[in-house]
Amino acid sequence: VAVFLKNSKIAKKNKNQTQQLVIGTPTAMVHKTHVDTELKWTSCEGNDFEFKEKLGQGGYGAVYRAIHHSTGIECAIKTFGKGGMDLKEIKGEIEFLRKCNSPYIVQYYGCVEVRDNMWVLMDYCSRGAVADMLRYSPLTEGQIAAVCFPVLSGLKYLHSEGIIHRDMKCANILISAEGHPKIADFGVSIQDTTSGRADGAKMGTPLFMSPEILQSGKFNRLADVWSLGITAIEMAEMKPPRFKENILRAMYLICQAPPPRLKNEGEFSGNFVNFLECCLKKEAQDRKSCAELQEHPFITKAIPSFRRTILTMIEEKTRESEAHNEQAKEEIRAKRKNN
């Protein structure tokens, strides 16, 4: 059976073929491999895809940009070796991705078991992560607000679905070719409980963790708000607070010291400083919710032009990277000439 993946806008019928079943994304991804209602691809030996480049590497495995042969559509494939992975954890991430249907969340296309590996197929965000844009310079306040607005929309959606992300940071905010920021990586996400609290292992990235996670492991969705505040400082200063500290010392300070602030606070607007204060309250119940933060002046001022701001940011960061690459080439040529 030929299959379109979820949300396809064109489900044409061919009189000479079996009727196609619309069950997933992206538009026009047609293949001859069976895909069940759980979006699990079967009878696939991996030949449906061509791996083009490696996008990243982690303890779990690697992420690649790949092309679906029959349509030419790009996707990101997260690979896991079955022998060394926690199947329960991977299935948990897949389950969270399957539940999400939001333009602010990286889209899940399905999973494939290929010999001793599992592939998770996802939306390919060609502009990379926000973290990549901090390589040579920080973001401006306007750019930070423009990124935070859709991220708040994504977190608000997740929280409405009872999902706590638990690992919000610049590396997990990806930007699509069209300039849409999207939340990615649900490897340590957890389902919120009906009581509004969740008990879980101390997982995530320590420098971005909220005090309550580090102290007791008991937390609710407002832990993501703390992480967003740290992420905003990361965008402003290129690194999260206390990144130079020994990790155990940093974790101690997160719990015991006052909330972090911008190093050169006087150089930033009062709206931005107050936005961070609303996110970085030591007591979770004192923090603003994502819905409330969307109404903050720091965010509302950015909303009318946030897409244009992000596209301009991409152009500026691309030129900046090209200039540094050209400078590096010139330095190499000069060294070779001198030698």
Give 76's strand partners.
65, 122
Contact (CB, 8 A) for 118 and 77: no
Question: Would you give the distance in Å from CA 199 to the centre of its chain?
Answer: 23
Residues with catalytic annotation?
167
Q: What is the 3-state secondary structure (H, E, C) of 153-208?
A: HHHHHHHHCCEECCCCCHHHEEECCCCCEEECCCCCCEECCCCCCEECCCCCCHHH
Contact (CB, 8 A) for 80 and 61: yes
H or E element, residue 300: helix 297-300
Rounded distance between C-alpha atoms, residue 250 and residue 127, angstroms? 31
DSSP classification of residue 284: G
Contact (CB, 8 A) for 217 and 261: no
DSSP classification of residue 303: G
Contact (CB, 8 A) for 242 and 260: yes
Q: What is the dihedral of CA 327, 329, 335, 338, to 10 degrees?
A: -90
Please tell me whether 337 is known to bind a ligand.
no
Q: What is the 3-state secondary structure (H, E, C) of 232-267?
A: HHHHHHCCCCCCCCCHHHHHHHHHHCCCCCCCCHHH
Rounded distance between C-alpha atoms, residue 175 and residue 169, angstroms? 13
**Annotated binding residues for ATP, as ranges?**
78
Give the residue numbers of the binding site: 78
